[in-house]
Amino acid sequence: MMVELFMIISSATDYREAARRRLPPFLFQYIDGGSYAEQTMRRNISDLADIALRQRILKNVSALNTGTELFGRKLNIPAALAPVGLTGMYARRGEVQAARAAARKGIPFTLSTVSVCPIEEVQGRSPVPIWFQLYVLKDRGFMKNALERAKAAGITTLVFTVDMPTPGARYRDAHSGMSGPNAAIRRYVQAMTHPIWAWDVGVRGRPHDLGNISRYRGNPTKLEDYIGWLANNFDPSISWKDLEWIRDYWDGPMVIKGILDPKDAKDAVRFGADGIVVSNHGGRQLDGVLSSARALPPIAEAVKGELKILADSGIRSGLDIARMVAMGADAVLLGRAFVYALAAGGQKGVENLLDIMEKELRVAMTLTGASAISDLTSESLARLA
Ligand code: FMN
C-alpha cells in the first residue's frame, strides 16, 4: 500500500502513526480519542502492559496451535474485530474491506449499528457470516428492523452493546472539527489538505450516510446528522427486562457488550446470554472506570465456564491477547488496532496487522510454554512481589 512506501510497519503502533498521517484530523482524533480526561483510555494500555507474563523454558512447544472455537465457529486466533462506528469513513467502503480481511484471516468481523455500509452490503460481500452489533435505542422500531435485516442476511451472532445509555463526552471531537462550531467547513478544509483520503474515501467511497439507519428511515442519514441522531436516540431507561424481547426474537448467540462488574456478569448469566464482552468501550464512555485488564480477573472468577468471556479495550498486540486469555478471556475484540491498520492500508493493512498479532501471540505462547490457547491460564502470569 501507498503508506508502506514511506513507513516501515511492524506493529499496531506503526499503523497508528500511518493512520494519523493519512486521515483528516477530525477522523483520526475521533478514532484515537477517549472521553473526558482520557484516564481510563490510557490505563487500558498501561494496566495491560503491567501484567507480567511468566517465562517458562524447555517445554517443547513445537506443535503450537493458536486456534480456538467460539459460538460454533473455529477461529485462527482467539480474536474478533470489534464493532466500530463510521468504519466506512476510514477507508473506502471500510466495513466491507475489514470484513473481508477478517474472513481471510479466520476471525469474525462485527458490524456496528452506526456503520456507513449497511448490513446487506457487508454480509453480501463477506464469504462468511459476520456478527452484528446493536445499540439500545429509543426507537425500538429501528432495533426490530435492524434485527430482521440481520437475520435475513444470514447473521447469527448478535453483540448487544449496553454501556451507552448516554454517550460520553469526547472533548477532542470539538477541537478537531468532528463537532463544534463551523465543523462542516473545518472538515472540508481538512479533507482538501489530505488529498489521498479525499479522493479514495471522500469521493470514491460515497455514499457516506449511516447505511442501516438510512434504510430504515428511507432517506440518507448523513455524517452531519450523526452526532445529533446519536445524542437523541440513546435510551437511559433500559433495563434487563427490555432485553427479553430481543433474546426471545434472536435465535443465535447473544453477547452482551460493556460489562465491568462481576455482579452484572452474573446477571448476564441469569438472563441467559451466551457471552459477555468485558469492555469500557475503549475508554470512550465513563472516564475513571476500571481498565479492562483490571476488571477481567474478578469477572472471570465469577462466571468462567458459564458463558463465553470476551474482553476488549487497550489490546494492541498478540502479547496483550495472551495476557487477556491468561486472565480468563476466551477471546478478545480488537478495536482501534484494526481501525488504524484499515485507515493506513485498507483490507491488506488489516490482514497484515492480523498476521503481526498472530506472530506476536505465537512468541508469547512459545516463551510461556503454552502449546494451545487452553494452556494460557493464570499459571502463565508471573506473581509480582
Ligand atoms: N462499540 C460499539 O459497541 N459500537 C460502536 O459503534 C462503536 N464505535 C466505536 C467507534 C470508535 C472510533 C472506537 C474507537 C470504538 C467504538 N466502539 C464501539 C468500541 C469498540 O467496539 C471497542 O469496545 C473499543 O474500541 C475497544 O478499545 P480499543 O480501541 O482500545 O481496543
Residue of 31, 39, 42, 84 with the most ligand 1 atoms within 8 Å of its CB, for mutation: 84
Digit-coded pLDDT (tens) for 18-76: 999 999 999 999 999 999 999 999 999 999 999 999 999 999 999 999 999 999 999 99
Residue of 196 and 167 predicted with greater confidence: 196
Mean pLDDT of the 204-228 span:
84
Residue of 47, 284, 287 with the most ligand 1 atoms within 8 Å of its CB, for mutation: 284
Ligand 1 touching residue 108 (CB < 6 A)? no
Ligand 1 touching residue 81 (CB < 6 A)? no
Q: Which atom in ligand 1 lies closest to the alpha carbon of residue 257?
A: 3
Peptide bond into 129 cis (omega under 30): no
Ligand 1 touching residue 85 (CB < 6 A)? yes
Give me the pLDDT at residue 242, please: 86
Ligand 1 touching residue 257 (CB < 6 A)? yes
Digit-coded pLDDT (tens) for 229-275: 777 888 899 899 989 999 989 999 999 999 999 999 999 999 999 99
The answer to whether residues 200 and 194 touch, using CB atoms and an 8 Å cutoff, is no
Find the 2 Cα to ligand 1 centroid distance in Å: 26
Give me the pLDDT at residue 73, please: 97
Digit-coded pLDDT (tens) for 170-201: 999 999 999 888 999 999 999 999 999 999 99
The answer to whether residues 256 and 160 touch, using CB atoms and an 8 Å cutoff, is yes
- Is pLDDT above 90 for 225? no
Residue of 172, 279, 281, 310 with the most ligand 1 atoms within 8 Å of its CB, for mutation: 281
Ligand 1 touching residue 336 (CB < 6 A)? yes
Give me the pLDDT at residue 204, please: 97
Find the 281 Cα to ligand 1 centroid distance in Å: 5
Ramachandran bin of 283, using left for φ above 0, alpha for ψ from -120 to 50, beta for the remaining angles: left
- Is pLDDT above 60 for 2? no
Mean pLDDT of the 93-121 span:
98
Give me the pLDDT at residue 229, please: 73
Mean pLDDT of the 148-166 span:
96
Give me the pLDDT at residue 279, please: 98
Residues with catalytic function = 281
Give me the pLDDT at residue 223, please: 72
Give me the pLDDT at residue 220, please: 79
Ligand 1 touching residue 328 (CB < 6 A)? no
- Is pLDDT above 60 for 4? no
- Is pLDDT above 70 for 377? yes
Give me the pLDDT at residue 385, please: 65
Residue of 41 and 3 predicted with greater confidence: 41
Name the residue among 140, 148, 157, 86 with its Cα closest to residue 120. Answer: 148
Give the residue, by CA position, lying nearest to ligand 1 atom 19: 281
Average pLDDT of the chain is 95
Find the 112 Cα to ligand 1 centroid distance in Å: 9
Give me the pLDDT at residue 227, please: 66
- Residue 92 half-sphere exposure toward CB, CA atoms < 13 A: 13
Give me the pLDDT at residue 3, please: 52
Q: Tell me, what DSSP letter sits at residue 200?
A: I
Give the residue, by CA position, lying nearest to ligand 1 atom 9: 84
Proportion of the chain above pLDDT 90, given as a percent: 85
Ligand 1 touching residue 211 (CB < 6 A)? no
Q: How confident is the model at residue 384 (pLDDT cuts 50, 70, 90)?
A: confident
Ligand 1 touching residue 221 (CB < 6 A)? no
Rounded Cα gap, residues 45 and 66, in angstroms: 23
Ligand 1 touching residue 318 (CB < 6 A)? no
The answer to whether residues 279 and 313 touch, using CB atoms and an 8 Å cutoff, is yes
Digit-coded pLDDT (tens) for 354-365: 999 999 999 999
The grid coordinates of residue 362 equal: 505465537
- Is pLDDT above 70 for 303? yes
pTM: 0.97
Proportion of the chain above pLDDT 70, given as a percent: 97
Q: Which atom in ligand 1 lies closest to the alpha carbon of residue 277?
A: 23
> CA dist 243 to 135, 160, 262, 272, 318, Å?
11, 9, 19, 11, 34
Give me the pLDDT at residue 222, please: 72
